[in-house]
Amino acid sequence: MEQNKITEFRHLGFMEYGEALGYQEHLFQETVALKIQNRKRSEETQLPTLNYLLFVYHPHVYTLGKSGKEQNLLLNNEELSQKEATYFRISRGGDITYHGPGQIVGYPILDLDNFFTDIHKYLRCLEEAVIRTLAEYQIDAGRIEGLTGVWLDVADPSKSRKICAFGVKSSSWVTMHGFALNVNVDLDYFNNIVPCGINDKAVTSMHQELGRLVELREVEDKLKKHLGAIFEFQWMNTPKS
């Protein structure tokens, strides 16, 4: 079956983490189920799988990946409540991270059989889209060998700081979870965790680096553009259902 790069972009707006998790799990399971059904069909009767890109804003929440350590959350339940934050242990890779207002969270739910079956290349492509987006704001970002994410001052370990975190899951080459780009986010919330389990690197935001607030929708438009170019998405815009 030919690769299908048709991709539905859906902006979920401001949504509780648990609701958004259920929403992307539905799309993920639906895609995996279709792939399993296709194995029972002749090639000419197989149905194409769709791809999705979700953007969303979350209220304060900490999420811990399947290989993460709970001690990297530095708050107890009472303190979480005082911070008006929630906590989820989820199925993505990586350790602990924070999502909150002023942050663009992206969940690509892609059938990588439609693109390339290489999870490391997939992560590098996501990172590249963020790097290109930041370059449009004259923010020089890059990668640190051995550490997933997008970083600033990558040549100086004493100054390196993360501006975008990544954590993904893949099953039958279908992806879920994704990335979180710090735009105008309150960085104080990162003081309550050991971000991504790394205790010797700082976290930053576009606001922090530029000294001004940045329009979220403007950043989203640029990020969507670069993701589309890198993955060669054929966009199909639909309202949230």
- pLDDT tens by residue, 184-213: 999 999 999 876 555 557 899 999 999 999
Catalytic residue among 96, 152, 196, 216: 196
Question: 91: buried, middle or exposed (CB in 10 Å: 19+, 13-18, 0-12)?
Answer: middle
Q: Let me know if residue 56 belongs to a domain.
A: yes
Number of folded domains that form the chain: 1
The share of the chain scoring above pLDDT 70, in percent, equals: 95
**Which of these, 79, 7, 1, 2, lies nearest to 232 by C-alpha position?**
7
Q: What is the CATH number of the domain that holds 71?
A: 3.30.930.10
**Does residue 6 surpass a pLDDT of 60?**
yes
Examine residue 214 and state whether it is found in any structural domain, yes or no: yes
| Mean pLDDT, rounded, for 136-165 | 94
Containing domain of residue 59, as a range?
6-115+165-218+231-237
Residue 151 counted as domain residue: no
The dihedral through the CA atoms of 11, 16, 17, 22 has a sign that is: negative
Is residue 97 domain-resident? yes
Mean pLDDT of all residues in 216-238 = 94
pLDDT at 88 over 70: yes
Domain presence at residue 49: yes
Is there a domain that residue 159 lies in? no
pLDDT for residue 55 is more than 80: yes
- What is the model's pLDDT at position 91? 84
164 is catalytic: no
The predicted-structure confidence for 119-130, as pLDDT tens digits, reads as follows: 999 999 999 999
* Mean pLDDT across 171-185: 97
Average pLDDT, the chain: 93
Task: Read off the pLDDT band of 66 (50, 70, 90).
Answer: confident
Provide φ and ψ at 196, rounded to 5°: 55, 20
Report the distance separating Cα 211 and Cα 238, nearest Å: 35
- Encode 110-135: b = buried (16+ Cβ within 10 Å), e = exposed: bbbbbbeeeeeebbebbbbbbbbbbe
Is residue 241 scored above 80 in pLDDT? Answer: no
Band the pLDDT of 19: cuts 50, 70, 90. Answer: very high
Asked, for residue 199, whether it belongs to a domain, the answer is yes
Residue 158 in domain: no
Of 141, 56, 160, 136, nearest to 99 (Cα)?
Answer: 56
pTM for this predicted structure: 0.93
